[in-house]
Amino acid sequence: MGLPQLIQSRPQFGYLGALLVYLVAIVTYIGYNAFNQLLVGQTLHELIGVSETGSAMVFSLLAIFMAIVGYNSFHKIQRGLAFVMVAMMLALTIGLVVFMDVPGGQLALSDFNLNAFLAQFFVAAAYQLSWAIYVSDYSRYLPADVSVRASFWWTYLGAMIGGVWMMLIGAAAAALSPGQNLAAGLIMVGDMVFSGFGKTLVVISVLILITSAAQNFYGASITLLSIIDTIKTQTSTLLKRILAMVVVGSSAMLLAYVADENFVKEFGDFLAVLLYLFTPWTAINLVDFYAVRHGKYSISEIFNPNGIYGRWNWRGIGSYIVGFAVMLPFSNTGLYTGYFAEQLGGADISMPIGLAVSALVYLWLCRSQNIQSELTQVRALDINLKNGTAH
């Protein structure tokens, strides 16, 4: 479609209703960058003994500057660093498998705890779901002749393999370096492969985190501008883009500054909240694309506040509310434990329930919508786009 992922939510939620998704996305961008700042501050303190707070702030300023310079800048750097990081992670993985002995107790099933397993499983799922806001940053620039199936599978495999691989390495590193913080643990495990490898690994990781933070600031700023433009049409200017970048950057820096020593645990709770917020949206977005409208949307009408998708789409909003509400009794975070989660001994199974309920409710509500009539209008509505005369 050639559109940012969040704007594609307007057909399901309405022109104004999609603001709900925008707000969730901004929280995600800022939350991740606050964690990235603390992680980099911790890492640089371990490496060269500098102040954690000061280095975190410098990290953020560099990321903000890179985001202001432009989208292409951090993607070019990411592409180059990706090859370096993959090679280093392969070396670390081989070292973990061949040269290191994981404590036997780590692999014993006798102490298996279902609740702990489910907690980690759904944190991992939350991480993957929260990546949904980045998906079209890559897929929207593909040539028109690339199939939906190909773009789906390559996107999925990249996110899944990269995420699962890094999580497995992280789990192994934690098992081999008990009592260490994230940075010290990675340095210790890397140096087990060969001397100095751990520090080299974290230096490259910091460079990659700068580009990732730049991408988050960029995404958060255009999301903020999209919110403002949705409420009242704006003319895009460089000054507005810079101001938006400063607002989101300052928010992340403030959050990182006031965070306490328990931030890693709190970040886990943050991911859990994201899981609850993203689950209904993901279900609705996918069902609409694959089962309701089959990927056929009017690009021009998505940007029309009085168009065929309306300002508020009660079907999408209603399905979201129902799906979110159904998840609550099955949820378990540091903030709240639902009734059924308590009955299950603390196990959180809210995600699959929320996905299923949101998807089924939305599909059922769309039965009363004349989708065929809408789809017949799409080609005519976007005829100017094909002719290059749309405004």
CA-closest candidate to residue 227, choices 212, 208, 240, 239: 240
Residue 70 is predicted with a pLDDT of: 76
Residue 234 is predicted with a pLDDT of: 80
Low-confidence stretches of the chain (pLDDT beneath 70) = 1-5, 102-107, 136-141, 260-265, 268, 271, 384-391
Residues 6+ positions from 47 with CB-CB distance below 8 Å: 183, 187, 199, 202, 203
Residue 106 is predicted with a pLDDT of: 66
DSSP 49: -
**Domains assigned to the chain:** 7-101+113-387 (1.10.4160.10)
Q: Which helix (H) or strand (E) holds 191?
A: helix 182-193
332 three-class SS: strand
Angle between helices 350-365 and 314-327 (to 10 degrees): 160
Residue 391 is predicted with a pLDDT of: 45
Residue 366 is predicted with a pLDDT of: 92
Residue 2 is predicted with a pLDDT of: 53
332 phi and psi, to 5 degrees? -150, 110
SS3 content of the chain, % helix, strand, coil (to 5): 75, 0, 25
pTM, 2 dp = 0.81
337 three-class SS: strand
Instruction: Kindly report, residue by residue over 139-188, the tens digit of the pLDDT.
Output: 666 777 788 788 778 877 877 777 888 888 888 888 888 777 777 888 88
Residue identified by tokens 């705890």 is: 113
Residues 6+ positions from 314 with CB-CB distance below 8 Å: none
| Residues 271 and 130: beta-carbon distance below 8 Å | yes
Question: How buried is residue 305: exposed, middle or buried, by Cβ count under 10 Å (0-12/13-18/19+)?
Answer: middle
